[in-house]
Amino acid sequence: MTSGNPKRASNTLFSPFRFEKNPRACRIVCTIGPSSQSSTILEKMLLSGMNVARLNFSHGNQKSHGEIAHEIRKTAQRLMKPIAILQDLQGHKVRVGNVQHPPSICLNEGQEILLGHGETVSNKRIGIDYQDISHSVTPGQHVFLDDGSIELEVLSTQGDDLHCQVNLGGELHSRKGVIFPDSHLSFPLLNEKDEKDAHFGVSLNVDMVAMSFVRSATEIIEMRLRLAAWGKKDSFIVAKIEDRKGIDNLDEILHVADAVLIARGDLGVTLPREKVPGIQKTIIQKANTFGVPVITATQMLESMIYHDKPTRAEVNDVYSAVIGGSDAVMLSGETASGRYPLHAVREMDRICREAEKELRNFKGEIPVRGRQDMHDKMAASAVNLARNTKARCILAFSLSGATLKALSAARSNVPVYGIVVEEQVLRQLLLHWGHSLITMPHEEKLEDLIGPALRQLQEQGIVRTNDRIVVMASEAEPGAKETYLFKLYLLK
């Protein structure tokens, strides 16, 4: 144990960010849209707990998303608070065309209608943006429109069209999604729109890219190669799990993805709704075991699109997702187009913090999680050491982010304060559970960073006299490929 304050460095190492005095461990992802894209609302959302800003490329255009990304970065810089930008590509979702006589058509139960490739939607035929659909769908299979609110059954094929009967009717608007739960459709890795949008995302230097309907590890690997060819060599790819194929291949996806997102909306359409809670639990548990961040998404505080308070069921849903092991929870329409985006973020923050109180009461030995490499083993040891010595916090240093990722997987029940050199690395850590992060300039000797970091913790009132702090780092030493460092400081 090292007793006393470390020697004061001759100069203070400046960081553009400040530690959070009371950091929340579970991350909050907020979709940015018309309700939240102003600098005033962005600032308040960031101060209220938003960690990741999601740009949904199913809506808007490149110009509008570029302007929003610029505003997000400008706001974060002004507030000295880091935030990551997640680009969510539309993906290969089939959509209907445009209603011939807006705003909608009414489909009645028992009505028969054709469905096939085309741009127009009428009461006689529904045009969709997928060619040769009759080659992939057979009589007796089902088709869902508008996220499952309308259900069709295929009676027969007529040339390139499907002859369908409406089993569950409703109003159909332009550009609504179409799902074929019983069929396997073929899609390229990126359609024309996604290719242009992904390339645009590289030019924006987005921190993360979400791929829709990921069904295999190969798709992630190919996407990473594509981004690297465009100049994004340090890509962070979020795999959205949205159908049975993605669930069946979850283990191989977790081996190569940087994070996974549980898209409960599409899962609830492509699979029986009653199976989704169990699937959510399975995905979270497997992701936790692999040390891969997992985002739980869709309809978490859905009622807050129109109301300033959530339902009790929604509060329970978020709380359970945090207790169950989610690294992040996501707001969609609540912050993109809802009436109360700021209320939604604050509500999410309160629920997460309450759930984390329960998690901090865990008294057992922390197991080794993640991919079981040396970083994961050392991280589990650091968390157990902090608990056994009643340390105030863990202070971790990492160049690549590997040490901090391992600490995240270990689920420390004391706060973790992390130091990285590059801001890009910091932002890509913002989907990982449990860190408050800052950057500091690189120093040849780790000791030259420990002093300024501890002083900042003291100056912000995070640690004080007689507190114990576990310091963890991985660095190269002469004659060694890698050295893992632990120190236990007792401040005087």
Q: Which of 298, 335, 403, 439 is catalytic?
A: 298
**pLDDT for residue 12:** 54
The domain that holds 87 is classified in CATH as 3.20.20.60
3-state secondary structure string, the chain? CEECCCCCCCCCCCCCCCCCCCCCCCEEEEECCCCCCCHHHHHHHHHHCCCEEEEECCCCCHHHHHHHHHHHHHHHHHHCCCCEEEEECCCCCEEECEECCCCEEEECCCCEEEEEECCEECCCEEEECCCCHHHCCCCCCEEEECCCCEEEEEEEEECCEEEEEEEECEEEECCCEEECCCCCCCCCCCCHHHHHHHHHHHHHCCCEEEECCCCCHHHHHHHHHHHHHCCCCCCCEEEEECCHHHHHCHHHHHHHCCEEEEEHHHHHHHCCHHHHHHHHHHHHHHHHHHCCCEEEECCCCHHHHCCCCCCHHHHHHHHHHHHCCCCEEEECHHHHCCCCHHHHHHHHHHHHHHHHHHHCCCCCCCCCCCCCCHHHHHHHHHHHHHHHCCCCEEEEECCCCHHHHHHHHHCCCCCEEEEECCHHHHHHCCCCCCEEEEECCCCCCCHHHHHHHHHHHHHCCCCCCCCEEEEEEEECCCCCCCEEEEEEEECC
- 240 flagged as catalytic: yes
The domain that holds 149 is classified in CATH as 2.40.33.10
pLDDT in tens, 353-404: 999 999 988 777 777 777 668 888 899 999 999 999 999 999 999 988 999 9
Let me know whether 111 and 136 are in one domain: yes
**pLDDT for residue 48:** 97
Listed residues 359, 383, 412: the one ending a domain: 359
Residues 145, 149, 154, 155, CA torsion sign? negative
Let me know whether 86 and 98 are in one domain: no
Residue 21 within a domain: no
- 27 flagged as catalytic: no
β pairing state of 104-107 and 170-173: antiparallel
Residue 184 within a domain: no
**pLDDT for residue 330:** 98
Highest mean pLDDT among 21-25, 144-148, 338-342, 458-462: 338-342
Q: Nearest to residue 142, comparing CAs of 180, 102, 93, 108? A: 180
Confidence check: pLDDT of 11 > 60:
no
Listed residues 359, 382, 407: the one ending a domain: 359
Cα distance between residue 114 and residue 152, in whole Å: 10
C-alpha distance from residue 441 to each of 288, 420, 452 (Å): 32, 8, 11
Let me know whether 294 and 349 are in one domain: yes
Q: Which of 24, 27, 31, 54 is catalytic?
A: 54
pLDDT in tens, 153-164: 999 999 999 999
Q: Which of 27, 232, 240, 405 is catalytic?
A: 240
Confidence check: pLDDT of 10 > 50:
no
Q: Which of 95, 244, 350, 377 is catalytic?
A: 95
Confidence check: pLDDT of 1 > 60:
no
Let me know whether 314 and 202 are in one domain: yes
pLDDT in tens, 291-334: 999 999 999 999 999 999 999 999 999 999 999 999 999 999 99
Average pLDDT value for residue range 228-241: 96
Residue 428 within a domain: yes
Let me know whether 392 and 323 are in one domain: no
Confidence check: pLDDT of 42 > 90:
yes
Let me know whether 88 and 98 are in one domain: no
Q: Nearest to residue 451, comparing CAs of 1, 2, 81? A: 2
Residue 384 within a domain: yes
pTM of this prediction exceeds 0.85: yes
Q: At what angle do helices 39-48 and 341-359 cross, to 10 degrees?
A: 10
- 492 flagged as catalytic: no
- 54 flagged as catalytic: yes
The domain that holds 420 is classified in CATH as 3.40.1380.20
Let me know whether 126 and 77 are in one domain: no
Residue 22 within a domain: no
Structurally, the chain folds into a number of domains equal to 3
Listed residues 329, 359, 389: the one ending a domain: 359
Let me know whether 311 and 231 are in one domain: yes
Let me know whether 147 and 268 are in one domain: no
Average pLDDT value for residue range 439-467: 89
* Domain residue limits at 450: 2-16+363-490
Exposure on the CB side of residue 258, measured as CA atoms within 13 A: 22
